[in-house]
Amino acid sequence: MKTVQVSVVTPDGPVYDADIELVSAKAQSGELGILPGHIPMVAPLAIGAVRLKKGNNTELVAVSGGFLEVRPDKVTILAQAAERAEDIDVARAEAAKKRAEERLQRKGQGQEDIDFKRAELALQRAINRINVAKKNF
């Protein structure tokens, strides 16, 4: 089976680099599946899981937005934050989820809409990290 080189990079450095048969990612326009030889494209990513399949093995990487750049022989994911499933601290993600839920419950008590939006995004990121760590996909 043909493969494509996949790199997941954050401002803190590389998170993932391997040859993969299929990349599946959640773009803002919907789910994308990328195989070797895919036409070049750039797409903004939503908070979600990137699935990287090679043979019978599927690895998951949690990404918190960013961009996906596709070339026929290489896929680069430039993410604001990214973690491999095995590197996620579930207890920390659960604590972040709880904090975000508490902030959301205080809406309407003098909080600004900006704080509400930030709390919503924090909640989405925490839930995504928990789901990726527990492989709930």
Give yes or no: residues 16 and 29 share one domain. yes
Token code pair at residue 127: 């839930």
Domain count, the chain: 2
80 and 15 fall within a common domain: yes
- Residues 10 and 44 both lie in one domain: yes
% of residues, the chain, pLDDT over 90: 58
Q: Can you give the residue range of the structural domain that contains 122?
A: 90-133
36 & 97 share domain: no
Give the pLDDT band of residue 126 (cuts 50, 70, 90): confident
Final residue belonging to a domain, choices 47, 62, 85: 85
Does residue 76 surpass a pLDDT of 80?
A: yes
**Contact criterion met (CB below 8 Å) for 7 and 20:** no
Please give the model's pTM, rounded to 2 decimal places: 0.81
Please report, for the domain that includes residue 8, its CATH number: 2.60.15.10
Residue 23 has pLDDT above 90, yes or no: yes
pLDDT for 133: 82
Q: Is 107 helix (H, G, I), strand (E, B) or coil?
A: coil
Residue 63 and residue 22 share a domain: yes
User: Binning pLDDT at 50, 70 and 90, where does residue 116 land?
Assistant: confident
**pLDDT tens-digit profile of 78-113?**
999 999 988 888 898 889 888 888 888 876 555 566
User: 25 with 60: CB under 8 angstroms?
Assistant: no
If asked whether residues 16 and 46 sit together in one domain, one would say yes
